[in-house]
Structure 1
Amino acid sequence: MEGHRVLLTHDTSAFPPAPPPDLDDPQVIAAHDWAAFDRVEEMSNHWDRRGWTPSTRAYYWMLGFPADSALAEHAQQCQDEIRNLHFDPIDAGGLHLTLGRIGTIEDVSLGELNALLAAVAEMSTDRFRLQAVPMTASRGAVRYSIAPWTPVLDLHARLSAAGARCRLPLRKPTSVLRPHIGIAYCNRAADARMVRETIRPLRGMDCVSVPVDHLHLVEMRREDRAYRWRVIDQVNLA
């Protein structure tokens, strides 16, 4: 199967703002993520983000991971090691890789959603496997680096093309996607140096192999400084 050719661009709203020099090498990606975080002086409150209120409900494409997976067990070990940060941990059932926002429930009709699902069901996309590489952070969360990026970018590009055909373009283009899996959200302004000192020892841990054989369309909301969602449909990858 020939994948979509995606040219990633520099974008200050993304993190890291610049893409890594190699989109598939785990060591290169992890080093690039860490170098970007090494330039952060102060982390910000993840929950102070525009576009969300207690009543917001929005449709997203995402990759979800079972609560009893090797990833969930590994994430729990990492969360135990960073308890001193007092961040908001993501529970085992909440681990995810966000692919893209489609729109709020007010902006997207049931008919449009069904048309989108039908278009995505016709896509030919292979299942793949990722490596979750411990551990790094962004401006607002502690997270895994992810490798390789290419199959994730290809999947996003296909979802974006399907959405465009249904007049439901994703909120952000594939060119600014920076795949990652978070384990804890920063809930206040915090000295990034302290966070680096805490998570640096975790960088010596083994990577986690993560199979990806389906994606979810979900209706997402926020509850008590956590993301929760209702699965609308699951799309199995070939």
Structure 2
Amino acid sequence: MENAQSEVEEKSLSYTFPKEPPTDLRDPTKIAENDWSAFDSLTHMHSHWERPHWDSAHWMITFDDSPQVATLAQECQDGLSKSHLDLIDSNAFHLTVRRMAYWKDVSKSRVSNLFDSAAQQIAEIPEFSIDVFPLAGSTGAIRLSVSPWGPLFSVFDCATTLAGHRKRAAEIFRPHIGVAYNNRTRPAGPVVKEVAKLRSLLPVRCVVQKVDLVTLSRVGHAYQWTTIETVPLSITTDSGPEG
């Protein structure tokens, strides 16, 4: 499994966007500027669905208890041309943290053991707030920026170390919440201009209280998941944004 994992990690590097992280993981302005600068510099967008996919065990943050996230995402969707975009369903907005493994490469017992080990460390991370603000994109998607990144990096790195992954958060993790997937190769300029008009929408804040381990599948031009386990984060009296 180690060789297969290494190959997946190297492939993930090519999908990392922006290539470089912001200079300050706590500063929402620097995070937003870094995301936007990378998106604004694109000459072309490509189909998200050209990426290979196999059913996988994934760490994920969902927003069932934070309807304000879906409200903002749908407001962004309403301002986008639907041509060549596959909009994410209102009940499916999420923040992908880390792939644990492809099911084709690992047994259920191995996933269970990895979960037990990672859950102990993830559960020690205090619950935290993130600000979600519009709007940028990548080579294959339109997405919302989030801030701060520090607590999200902590979750990612707990899952990384215990699953035997080699790459740390700063190398390949760029937290975001998807709004729509691009489904064909096309010039980026018109899309960037359209997205730019939506960047004045006000941000929303939500509290992250848990992290889910899910089975993630791709069905047509959409992702679906089934929750395997949930890890509650440590309760704190102050869950405001921090690095």
Structure 1 length as normaliser, TM-score? 0.87
Moved more, 214-223 or 62-71: 62-71
Match of 2:168 in 1: 173
Amino acid paired to 1:63:
I
Match of 1:187 in 2: 183
Moved more, 122-131 or 105-114: 105-114
Give, in angstroms, the shift of residue 120 of structure 1.
2.3
2:114 equivalent to 1:119: no
Amino acid paired to 2:147:
A
Q: Distance in 2 between matches of 1:229 and 1:207?
A: 27
Moved more, 153-162 or 36-45: 153-162
Amino acid paired to 1:91:
D
2:192 equivalent to 1:196: yes
- Tell me if the contact between 2:58 and 2:99 (Cα under 8 Å) persists in the aligned partners: yes
Identity %: 35
Structure 2 length as normaliser, TM-score? 0.85
Give, in angstroms, the shift of residue 173 of structure 1.
3.3
2:96 equivalent to 1:98: yes
Q: Deviations over 1:135-162 (max 9, x none)?
A: 0011000001111011101111111122
Give, in angstroms, the shift of residue 68 of structure 1.
6.5
Alignment equivalent of 1:49, drawn from 40, 48, 51: 51
- Tell me if the contact between 1:85 and 1:195 (Cα under 8 Å) persists in the aligned partners: no
Amino acid paired to 1:40:
L
Match of 1:128 in 2: 128
Amino acid paired to 1:191:
P
* Uncovered stretches (5+) of structure 1, i.e. residues with no partner: 1-10
2:29 equivalent to 1:27: yes
Moved more, 11-20 or 203-212: 11-20
* Uncovered stretches (5+) of structure 2, i.e. residues with no partner: 1-12, 235-243
Amino acid paired to 2:40:
D
RMSD, matched Cα = 1.6
2:223 equivalent to 1:227: yes
- Tell me if the contact between 1:63 and 1:214 (Cα under 8 Å) persists in the aligned partners: yes
